Chain A
Amino acid sequence: MASISLRSVSKWYGNVVAVNDVSLDVEPGITGLLGPNGAGKTTALHMMAGLAAPSEGEIEALGQPVRDNPEVYRRLGMMSEHEAVYPFYSGRKFVELAARLHGLPDVGAAVDRAIRYVGLSDAQDRALGTYSRGMRQRMRLAAAMVHDPEALLLDEPLNGTDPRQRIEFHDMMRRIASEGRTILISSHILEEVETVADRHLLMVSGKLAASGDFRAIREKLDEQPYKVRILCDDPRAMAAALMRLDTVESVSMDDGAALVLSRNVAALQRAVPVTARDLGLRLTRVEPLDESLESVFSYVVEG
């Protein structure tokens, strides 16, 4: 049985349609919810969590309706994309609040376990206001899973995390999923969920554009070039060096940055730091551009 199911769900705000007639099932394991910014992912997640009411359609989580049904949160957890916390609370106090609100029998043990899970035991007594963005995200995740939920909805959970934290996060998700739980991770960055999710849902312009195994989707996506913006202390030298790589289709200069088009992002990711090291350059920023992602998603829809 699906852990979360949406049947003909739509959501509109005035004349703006945020989610348009979406039907989907989320099974146990890790599912990636992908789509460019504004695709309707957050609205869909909010409806799955009962935070927003659908304008039309039906939503169930773990066999129960989610809207105006607080009891469902004994088995369901969510971490929203908004990073606001109570800055005056320590990390431990914040997770403890969630544990107390869930009425857990042994609050201390549950809080210890959740904080240990996200690897923040040493920082648990510091005020949240002093945390880095990545630490805040991890403590919010601890609060979302303190009650050991059967299904966990995570909206852009990797915002603000560094590559090492992402690897740790992926390991953590795999551990949780291996216990038979359901995890839905939304992201607008393909690479963030590509390696961790078993199944993917692609949303574009409020609609479910594609779903299923990533390899099939990925083959389609790879037919479209991927745009990456690179900032370093000598972008022209970097651009010239990258042009020589087979994985790079073209390089242009844009406002002091090198703009690279590639069909093989994974190879490009490996090549950029190596090239910078060989040239003695200092990389200051490497970012995939949403615009290119949108074009890729559009391609999937049109295809």
Chain B
Amino acid sequence: MLPIFELSLRQLSGKWRVAIIILAAAIPIATTAAARATVGTNDGENLDAMARVILDGMLLAAVLPIVTMTLATASFGNEVEDRTLGYLTLNPVSRWAIVLGKMLAPAVIAAPLLVVSGVAVVMVGLDGGVQTAAAVGVGILAGVAAYSAIFAWLGLVSSHAIGFALMYVFLWEGTLSSLLSGIRYLSVRAYILTLMEGVGGWRLDSLQDLTIELPAAIGGVILVCAAFYWLAVRRLRRMDVP
């Protein structure tokens, strides 16, 4: 698995891609700093609104899934498109190991940048302490893992992975999970928010309509990672490698 992981890290860490990802991760921090300059330290209502808009609306609903999507869809997608997947499959390496390497690499690149972004938003903008920052970090790590699994699988099954991924992010995670309460149980965004609250022991009133029970969120993340990992392995075993 290690050679495939190293190869994928190298493939996904082109300077332009990394520059764009750093820029995307910096947007919530810059927005928080700008908002913070205009909001008083004791203005609880405005802090709550900032959490809703920047932490959830910007970072969790847009930046996190899009950054992870950019990396994870390319993880297998580029191999299929460039017809280099055979260099990996024509070896005595189990399909489980190939998929693991391909799913871990985008997560390892995206996670540090997004965690830094989330922690900075909480520390700078929401007066959060160490525990809150750690909770945001845990939530983001879980989100990156789940999205990496989903989007890496998508890159393997479709040549239009980015289009489908954007539809999923904006329609399912961004819109429907806010409007229909049942969908929250099938929403990575809801899992992340619930983990942040559960681990951090903090509570933001404006985000209550997006959270679920903590065990359901933990189970949801594990289930999503495992299910899409299994689906990707199954696909790799059955597909005709170009």
Contacts and interface: CB of A to CB of B under 8 A. Distances in A.
Interface of A: 46, 49-53, 68, 70-74, 77-78, 80, 82, 84-86, 88-89, 97-98, 100-103, 143
A51 B241 contact: yes
B4 interface: yes
A85 B84 contact: yes
Contacts of B3: 97, 100-101
- By DSSP majority rule, is chain B's interface helix, strand, loop, or mixed? helix
10 contacts: A46-B240, A68-B237, A71-B92, A73-B92, A82-B86, A84-B84, A85-B84, A88-B10, A98-B91, A100-B3
Given A52-B240, A88-B10, A101 B91 contact: yes
B90 A49 contact: yes
Interface of B: 2-4, 7, 10-11, 82-84, 86-95, 237-238, 240-242
Contacts of B2: 100
B83 A80 contact: yes
- Counting chain B CB atoms within 10 Å of each CB, the highest count among A74, A78, A84 belongs to A84
Contacts of A73: 90-92
Contact of A97 (B7, B82, B94, B95): B7
A86 B82 CA distance: 9
A97 B87 CA distance: 9
A103 B92 contact: yes
A53 B92 contact: no
Contact of B93 (A46, A51, A70): A70
A143 B91 contact: no
- The 5 A-B residue pairs with the shortest CB-CB distance, nearest first, are A101-B91, A52-B240, A82-B83, A51-B241, A100-B3
Nearest to A100: B3
Given A74-B92, A86-B7, A100-B3, A51 B84 contact: no
B82 A53 contact: no
A84 B240 contact: no
A70 B86 contact: no
Contacts of B88: 101
A89 B240 CA distance: 26
A68 B84 CA distance: 18
Contacts of B90: 49-51, 73, 77-78
Contacts of A97: 3, 7, 87
Contacts of A89: 10
A101 to B, nearest CB: 4
B160 to A, nearest CB: 19
Given A51-B241, A52-B240, A80-B83, A101 B4 contact: yes
Given A51-B86, A86-B7, A97-B87, A70 B94 contact: yes
A85 B4 CA distance: 15
Contacts of B89: 51, 70
Contact of A86 (B84, B93, B241): B84
Contact of B87 (A71, A72, A74, A143): A143
Nearest to A85: B84
B10 A70 contact: no
A70 B240 contact: no
A277 B238 CA distance: 56
B241 A70 contact: no
